[in-house]
Structure 1
Amino acid sequence: MKFTKKNILAQATVAATLFTAVGTLPFGQAVVTQAEEVGQVTSANPTADTTSKRSISIWKYQVRDASELGERGEGSYETVDKDVIPGIKFKVQRVLAVGDVSLTNPREQKLETEYTIDSEYAEQIITTDVNGKAYLDLGIGRTNDGIYLVTELTDDRTDLTATAGKRVETPADPFFVHVPQTSRTDLSSLIYDVQVQPKNILESLVNPDKTINNLKGDSVHAGQEFQWELAAKVPAGLWQIAAQDGTIDVYDAQGNIVRTSDMVKGEPIVIRDATGLLQPNFSMTDQLDNQLIYKKDSAKVQVKAGETGTWTDLESTDYTVSFDEATNTLKTTLTEAGLVKVGTASNGFTDIRTVLTTTVKENWNGILDNNFTINYQIPGQKPKTVTPPEENKPKYYTGGFDIEKTAEDTKAVLADAEFMIAFTLEDAEAEKFIASDGKAYDKGATLPDGVHFLVAKSDANGRAEFDGLALDWKDANADGLVQEDEVSRKYWVVETKAPEGYELLKAPVSVTVNLTTEKNDSVELDIVDKPKTDLPFTGGQGTTLLVAIALGAITIGTVAISVDKKRRQA
């Protein structure tokens, strides 16, 4: 028999309700068999004896989805090739039927109406051990013979190592156990150690995660495009084929069981309503910050296989995209074709994501973050809503700074000074300046259409400002998350036009921009211009005029003498 845990299933979802078991062992048989090894006690005598020990043994296993639940158990032990779940608690109570009611299923039969709790028996709590087994010893003889109600309790384990961090979200349905129980295969035999093997589907750790440009924090110049990624693990059982005929529960949006639905062996497990496909379903919703501008038709859904796989676009028929401008909300939803493609295990897809492109307005300063929500439902399970932890939200950020222009001589503020900025000192000295697309160009270059150099001009108050600048994230504490005090970048400022009567600043000056430099009215850079000097005189204007008049008179006299001489000769 298999007690050692195998590799925990990579993907699993909420809890199942069926339990299975096979194989019986005649009581008193001399040969040690598998049933004896697990404590199975049976008897070929149809009359309950007074010498056999009575007990209930519960074995807890995990499965991937409803297709692996198997058939209902028979009260005897079978080897199950599944991973066990230790630490699960069960409450055991003895019950009494009301009147002539035959107790078969506590889900269908009501407490107090059709059965009551036997106060003569103290309820017991038993817990599965490292082998996934919970055992209740009811003693020898007929004293504790009767019908027992077994209820699986909510998974409250503090150590989830054995199930890779996953819990049982929905316990198995309660069930009645007759002790001793008539053998399901030999109706003339009794089972004194009743073995039940409920199976659970664990919660699916879809691990939702949001990034910006595939990072937890990034910055591009305001007005330029940047991408958000909404990623998750593909839920197990998103698209299942029934391994056997049976029924599964149908849950509404509030998680209430409203009916059951048939499973047909070899057919997809799909529950439909009047509108078509109801379960399974899968969608991602992102309510964007109101400062973000969604680029129309940019959203798409991608999948990949394994951690080293490459993200691949799904076909447009595999999903739908809706965008609500009033709430700035984007939603992508897998179609039935997408559910089949993504959820079919043989396709190997392990991860799914939505990518979308946004911008902020040019010159916008600040820090933005927003989360997203995954909604999905697997047939036979409650609907799930999953959101990444708030502290893991990615952040987009830009910054700005102010310049004050003053005169050295009068200390007054100066208007009409113009400035440009560069990424480095070398760029500044080479007149290679930053443009509105966040790139650097030579000052005399022809810029791309719609692109212009960033130029700040001092106003009547001597103020000039640069805003929406991309910043760097250092992540000094290596926590993978953006902290405001870890964001900054150095820029170099060049005065490219001086106010009338003043000298240009002769060398670039640096300024460090962070997320606080634009939040107050302080000046990050004070640039002082020297007044123009008075150069020596180069000659008076009156002397120049006299010289010109004299030269003109000489010219006129020379011409007159020449004309008179020619007249006399004639």
Structure 2
Amino acid sequence: MKRNKSKVYALIMSLCMMMSLCTGITLHAADSDPTTGSITVHKLKVKNAEDYEKMKEQGNGNFISKDDLPQGTQPMEGAQFKLEKVKETGDKLDVTTAEIDDSFQAITGETDAQGEYIFNNLNFGIYKLTELANSEAQTIMKPILIQLPLYNEAYKSDPSKSEFLYDVHVYPKNLLHQDSPSISKDVKVEDNQHASFAYYEEFPWIIKTGIPADIASAKKYEITDVIDTQLDYVDAKEKVAYRKSGDTADKDVLLTKDVDYTLSYDNGSKKLTLAVTETGRQKLANAINGQVVFTFYTKLNSTAQLGVAIENKAKLDYVNADDKRYQPESETPEVHTGGINVKKVDLDDITKVLPGAKFKIYASEDEAKNQVNALQRDGKDYEVTTGADGIASFVGLKYGDTGKDATTDELTYWLVETEAPTIGDVKYNRLRDPIKVTVNANSHELTASYTVKNAKTNYELPFTGGVGTIIFIAGGLALIGVALLLIKKDRKA
């Protein structure tokens, strides 16, 4: 009897455990299923009609990385979309006849600088996504229906993927107007994309924009440039002019600030904006098919990274009389700067670093030998002292020729030790000759430091006026004395 009771008890306990496990599984599944979803719009613009025609493939709701997006596409900022919910009738819905569900408050959103807008926290159902009027696009997306959650087509070929998508991604593409005015941007000189400068050295950027035939009736002609944080804008050095087609720079016609154009710079966003006024647009009509030439200056600040390209591009915002909008962007020219390290060590013990040594830097060997025309920093000779680690770092140095990029060129400098270190009561000897160094994209790294050795004393030399010398001089004087006595005796005789 006791044995039977034990069997029954064991069976009940087993059933309880199985029920608890089943309950746990059910609860876990319920917790993992989302109750809402999202629709993310990734708006793409296509400049070239040929590229646009190649983009016939439709998305399937999955996220697409930037590297896998079709070539020739760029994110479009400022595109507006409207999301509405439609009533489900049980039949197959058509976007043109689907009835709007008024119980859902329609949402309007605008894409950001990455071309994205997210419609979040959406209840399950069928939604209608409509692109609103876009003056920049030749054509806009036709309205589409999106079911949420969406069956994942990729699941059919790869069961490891989610069967349903709760966060749906759509990638509408717009072909831009094909008659856009041109824009280009150069640095230092026209038709140049690469240049190198020292910290705080002022240099020009040159933006050139095309003047379309309908400029006189245009509603907007605005050039913007968001300056990199590693650059500082130099105020009141800009020049704005127009250049007729076929003319050279010496024939540029200057425009007048606050009459023909306005110029503003926002320190927070670092956005520089040149807006041509109606008066200015009328003047530009004298140079149809010519160019606006806008020159402004910046300088590298102390945050500028060494050995890397610091890029900057510009954008034209043009709206014609028919409200067609064009927003072409320029190429992306770059500037770069470099650095060099020198490590000071003891000649006899190279593991011993020497703080307190001072160095100046020169552009040529002759200047270094004569110690004239040292490179300047903050209005005085650029002099650096070795720190506790024995290293002196020169930063923000120009390297390379105009037209060479940040990674391929280099430039030679010469270092002069201006003061030798003193460690305790030991004063080291100063190096007499300049040290040749090379600045390039990697020379600022500590692993590329130039090691300079200092001696405590000179090599041992014979003691001037030593014993041997004294004996020699004494013997010589004695011989001279004897000779004089002999001469004196001869005269007496």
Partner of 1:504: 430
- The question of 1:490 aligning with 2:412 is answered yes
Alignment of 1:18-37 (within 5 A): none
| Counterpart-to-counterpart distance in 1, 2:361 and 2:304 | 17
Counterpart selection for 2:211 from 226, 229, 234:
234
Question: What residue identity is the alignment partner of 1:420?
Answer: K
The alpha carbon displacement at 1:378 in A equals 1.3
Partner of 1:337: 279
User: Residue by residue, what CA displacement relative to the aligned partner does 1:443-490 show, whole Å, maximum 9, x if unpaired?
Assistant: xxxxxxx51001111111101011111111375xxxxxx533322111
Alignment of 1:321-336 (within 5 A): 321-336=263-278
Alignment of 1:332-371 (within 5 A): 332-342=274-284, 344=285, 346-347=286-287, 350-362=290-302, 364-366=304-306, 367-371=309-313
User: SS of 2:235's equivalent?
Assistant: coil
User: SS of 2:345's equivalent?
Assistant: strand
Partner of 2:232: 293
The alpha carbon displacement at 1:315 in A equals 1.1
Partner of 1:221: 198
Partner of 1:244: none
The alpha carbon displacement at 1:529 in A equals 0.9
Q: 1:328 to 1:470 in 2, by over 3 A?
A: same
| Counterpart-to-counterpart distance in 1, 2:206 and 2:319 | 22
User: Residue by residue, what CA displacement relative to the aligned partner does 1:228-264 show, whole Å, maximum 9, x if unpaired?
Assistant: 1121111221115xxxxxxxxxxxxxxxxxxxxxxxx
| Counterpart-to-counterpart distance in 2, 1:286 and 1:407 | 51
Q: 1:221 to 1:312 in 2, by over 3 A?
A: farther
Partner of 1:208: 183
Alignment of 1:373-392 (within 5 A): 373-388=315-330, 392=331
| Counterpart-to-counterpart distance in 1, 2:287 and 2:208 | 18
Partner of 2:368: 428
User: Residue by residue, what CA displacement relative to the aligned partner does 1:490-537 show, whole Å, maximum 9, x if unpaired?
Assistant: 11111121113222223222111112222x332431100112147788
Question: What residue identity is the alignment partner of 2:428?
Answer: Y
| Counterpart-to-counterpart distance in 1, 2:305 and 2:374 | 17
The alpha carbon displacement at 1:309 in A equals 2.7
- The question of 1:320 aligning with 2:245 is answered no
Partner of 2:390: 462
| Counterpart-to-counterpart distance in 2, 1:352 and 1:421 | 41
User: SS of 2:344's equivalent?
Assistant: strand
Question: What residue identity is the alignment partner of 1:312?
Answer: V
- The question of 1:514 aligning with 2:440 is answered yes
Partner of 1:302: 241
The alpha carbon displacement at 1:433 in A equals 3.8
Q: 1:203 to 1:236 in 2, by over 3 A?
A: farther
The alpha carbon displacement at 1:203 in A equals 3.6
| Counterpart-to-counterpart distance in 2, 1:371 and 1:423 | 31
| Counterpart-to-counterpart distance in 2, 1:487 and 1:474 | 10
| Counterpart-to-counterpart distance in 2, 1:375 and 1:325 | 21
Q: 1:217 to 1:291 in 2, by over 3 A?
A: same
| Counterpart-to-counterpart distance in 2, 1:351 and 1:453 | 42
| Counterpart-to-counterpart distance in 2, 1:462 and 1:525 | 11
Question: What residue identity is the alignment partner of 2:216?
Answer: W
| Counterpart-to-counterpart distance in 2, 1:463 and 1:408 | 15
Partner of 1:400: 339
Contact 1:397 1:470 in 2 (8 A): yes
The alpha carbon displacement at 1:538 in A equals 9.1
| Counterpart-to-counterpart distance in 2, 1:535 and 1:410 | 22
| Counterpart-to-counterpart distance in 2, 1:433 and 1:224 | 16
User: Residue by residue, what CA displacement relative to the aligned partner does 1:326-381 show, whole Å, maximum 9, x if unpaired?
Assistant: 11101010111001111x2x455711122211112258443311111100011125
Q: 1:525 to 1:368 in 2, by over 3 A?
A: same
Question: What residue identity is the alignment partner of 2:206?
Answer: E
Counterpart selection for 2:355 from 415, 435, 456:
415
The alpha carbon displacement at 1:428 in A equals 1.5
Alignment of 1:257-296 (within 5 A): 279-296=218-235
The alpha carbon displacement at 1:280 in A equals 2.2
Bigger Rg, which one: 1
Contact 2:410 2:440 in 1 (8 A): yes
| Counterpart-to-counterpart distance in 2, 1:307 and 1:512 | 42
| Counterpart-to-counterpart distance in 2, 1:425 and 1:510 | 8
Q: Percent of counterpart pairs with the same letter?
A: 24
Q: 1:474 to 1:347 in 2, by over 3 A?
A: closer
Contact 2:238 2:297 in 1 (8 A): yes
Question: What residue identity is the alignment partner of 1:324?
Answer: D
Question: What residue identity is the alignment partner of 1:496?
Answer: T
Q: 1:429 to 1:291 in 2, by over 3 A?
A: same
User: SS of 2:446's equivalent?
Assistant: coil
| Counterpart-to-counterpart distance in 2, 1:354 and 1:382 | 24
Contact 1:365 1:467 in 2 (8 A): no
Aligned-pair RMSD on alpha carbons? 3.1
Deviant stretches of 4+, over 6 Å: 534-539
Partner of 1:452: 380
User: Residue by residue, what CA displacement relative to the aligned partner does 1:146-187 show, whole Å, maximum 9, x if unpaired?
Assistant: xxxxxxxxxxxxxxxxxxxxxxx859xxxxxxxxxxxxxxxx
Question: What residue identity is the alignment partner of 1:314?
Answer: L
Q: 1:528 to 1:373 in 2, by over 3 A?
A: same
User: SS of 1:472's equivalent?
Assistant: coil
Contact 1:474 1:486 in 2 (8 A): no
Q: 1:320 to 1:301 in 2, by over 3 A?
A: same
| Counterpart-to-counterpart distance in 2, 1:312 and 1:529 | 61
Compute the TM-score of the two structures, normalised by the length of structure 2: 0.53
Structure 1: segments with no counterpart, 5+ residues: 1-110, 113-168, 172-201, 241-278, 438-449, 476-481, 540-570
Structure 2: segments with no counterpart, 5+ residues: 1-95, 98-136, 140-176, 466-493
